[in-house]
Structures are given as structure tokens and as C-alpha cells.
Structure 1
Amino acid sequence: MTPTPVTCPGYRFPAEVISHAVWLYHVFSLSLREVELILSERGIAVTHESIRQWCLKFGTDFACKLRRRRPKPGDTWHLGEVFLKISGELHYLWRAVDQHGVALDILVQRRRHATAAKRFFRRLLAGLKYKPRRLVTDGLLSYGVAHREVMPEVKHRICRYLNNRAENSHRPTRRRERQMQRFKSPKQAQRFLSSHAMIYGHFRPRRHLMTAGQYRRGRAEAFQAWREETSVQMAA
């Protein structure tokens, strides 16, 4: 029997096209119109608005599936925050990564006081179901308050120079923010960045710490996991 592409109910394009569009948009700094142009070169006539809807609907779903497949994070968490200007108002993007640079979670909030820090700590613990051995943060006092109230038994190291891993993890966000000409609302920023952090990180291993063979194997495994979770295999 000739295999047929897996389809998504209610969509006229096969899952392979939809997943490829979502992959292009999240892994590379491309606009929706640029993704439309790439697909057009391959003979796929789809508008950028359709691609936008695909990314909204399937991006979050794909990211959640990849999150479930993610190996257990390391026992040292690096936390940092960076400001985002949304509709003329300052917001803060809170981010946590482990010692390997793997993104654990992000949260967009209007403030960076103690209440906001405690909210982010509780979100991390709810999502990961266990506590780290050590936290590394910069000198923001809100982290100390949240640490004492939420995770007092965890070691807390305050050092701006040891927290470069968290600061460097914000760079992809800055590139996308410039490319998208800023985020339009906190909800949009939270939705996009949650998906982007997981999908982008899935295809971005720490290349400088791997041999060529390890990198090729890791890349092949990443693509295999993506194909399995986005249902782009051929069904009989």
C-alpha cells in the first residue's frame, strides 16, 4: 500500500509542512513572511497568516511534547531576568537554566519584586517536581527573599560573574525581539517565548563541548524526536 502523509484534522496541509514551518520560525530568526517565501520556493502556496496560526496552535503543543522528553535537568540552576518593553511599558522576563545551559522555564511579569520572584520559584518547582542542589543568581534582593521562603534548604550563591550562563541564555530572545519589532502584549510574549525556548534549545546543543561524532549523533536524535512528536512519519 502506498504510504500517505499524516494530516492534521481541519487543515488542508499535511503535518510535515506544518511542522516544518513551525520549525523554521522557531529555530531561525525568520519572519512569518520569510517562512512563507521559503515554502513558496518549494511549491507550497501558503500565506504568512496561516503560518502564524500554525505557530500559535502547534508551537505550544510541540514544545510541551519536547519538554516531556527532556532529560532530567542538572542540579544547579542559574536564574536571571531581563527587561522587555511591551506597549511602552517595562516588563521582566525571568528565566532559569541548569549548569548545562538547558532552559528550565521562563515567565514574563510586570515587576521584579519579591512576590514576582516567589511566583517564578513556585512555577519552577511545579513544573520540574524536584528541587536543585544549588541556586546561582545575581545580586537582586528579591531572589534572597524567595529563596528563604520557598527553598530555604537549597544552597544559594550570589555572584554576577558566575551567572553568565543565565545572562547568555537571553541572547536568542533579544534577537527575536528585534526581528519581531518588540512583543505586542505580555500574553503574546509569554506564549511565544515559552515555545521558542524549548524548540530552539532542542536543536542547539553545546557544540563547543562535543566531538564531531557526538554532535552528529545528537543532531540526528534531535531530528528523530522532532519527527516523532510532530507526527510527520509516513502512515500506511
Structure 2
Amino acid sequence: MQTQRISYKRHRFQPQIIAHVVWLYIRFNLSLREVEELRLECGLDVSYETIRRWIVKFCPLIARNLRRRQPRLGNVWHLEEVVVKIAGRSYWLWRAIDQHSVVLEEILQSRRNKRNRTVVAACLISG
């Protein structure tokens, strides 16, 4: 499965600049005006409204391409149980992992019993 190419046609700025602006906004949780100021310091005069339009247009495409790059989950899952101490109290950390040791889900509980284990397993598997 190939990732869809993002088209930057009919845009005044180069694709690298647009991608960098979108990355700044998403990665560092900046406001549109803060991103505008950062670009102005680099010599690029881009309004916050233009940045907002780029965010609306390109973020869903970038997110879709990133999701497609993620490896597929394995078909064998395991439920792992670990006791951890937090502030002197024991808690049970339940983790669902696949055969490639990718953590699918985690739940932290203060009690451990057989009923909890089956409920946790059902919750983790159902998603």
C-alpha cells in the first residue's frame, strides 16, 4: 500500500516551507500567530489565516499518510500483568501486547482478581 502524494500545486510557497509550518503548529502546540511570528523572524511573511488554511488542508492528509506507515498489528496477542508500587501502594498494570512486543493497550488497577482479569482482557481486545 503506497502513501498518497500530497499536492502543493497552486501554492505560492514551496512545499518544504508549507510542511515546516504545519509541523511547527502540530508538534509544538503553537498558536497560529506564534507560528506567523516564527516565520517572520526567518524572513517569510505568512499571515496566520494562510497558516490556518494550510492546517485545515494538509493536516488530514499528513495524518492519513502517517497512519498508513504504521506497522500492522500482529495476529497473536498476549495479556501481561505487572505489579508496580506507586506512593507505597501496589497496583496492577495490565498490558496487551502482540507478538512483536508492540503495546496495544494499558490499564492500571488497584485490585487484582480473576474477574478483573477477564474484564481487562475483554476491554483491551475490544478496543
The TM-score with structure 1 as length reference comes to: 0.31
Q: How does 1:110-189 map to 2 (within 5 A)?
A: 156-157=119-120
Bigger Rg over Cα: 2
Residue of structure 2 in register with 1:40 after alignment: 40
Cα offsets for 1:32-83 (capped at 9, x unmatched): 1111111111111000110011011001101101111112246479xxxxxx
Preserved contact between residue 136 and residue 157 of structure 1 (Cα < 8 Å): no
Between structures 1 and 2, the one with greater helix share = 1
Residue of structure 1 in register with 2:30 after alignment: 30
* More divergent stretch after superposition (53-62 vs 64-73): 64-73
Between structures 1 and 2, the one with greater strand share = 2
Preserved contact between residue 22 and residue 55 of structure 1 (Cα < 8 Å): yes
Residue of structure 1 in register with 2:72 after alignment: 72
Structure 2: stretches of 5+ with no match in the other structure: 1-6, 80-95, 110-117, 122-127
Distance 1:41 1:136, change over 3 A: closer
Residue of structure 2 in register with 1:62 after alignment: 62
Aligned-pair CA distance for 1:137: 5.3
The separation in 2 between residues aligned to 1:138 and 1:68, in whole angstroms, is 29
The separation in 2 between residues aligned to 1:52 and 1:43, in whole angstroms, is 19
Aligned partner letter, 1:157: V
Aligned partner letter, 1:54: W
Large movers: runs of 4+ above 2 Å: 72-77, 98-101, 135-139
Residue of structure 1 in register with 2:53 after alignment: 53
Residue of structure 1 in register with 2:9 after alignment: 9
Distance 1:156 1:51, change over 3 A: same
The separation in 2 between residues aligned to 1:156 and 1:53, in whole angstroms, is 44
Cα offsets for 1:89-109 (capped at 9, x unmatched): xxxxxxxxx7656xxxxxxxx
How many residue pairs end up in the alignment?
85
The separation in 1 between residues aligned to 2:37 and 2:14, in whole angstroms, is 18
Residue of structure 2 in register with 1:18 after alignment: 18
Preserved contact between residue 18 and residue 54 of structure 1 (Cα < 8 Å): yes
The TM-score with structure 2 as length reference comes to: 0.55
Aligned partner letter, 1:33: R
Distance 1:73 1:26, change over 3 A: farther
The separation in 1 between residues aligned to 2:78 and 2:23, in whole angstroms, is 29
The separation in 1 between residues aligned to 2:29 and 2:46, in whole angstroms, is 19
Structure 1: stretches of 5+ with no match in the other structure: 1-6, 78-97, 102-131, 140-154, 159-236
Aligned partner letter, 1:34: E
Aligned-pair CA distance for 1:18: 0.5
Distance 1:72 1:14, change over 3 A: same
Percent identity of equivalent pairs: 38
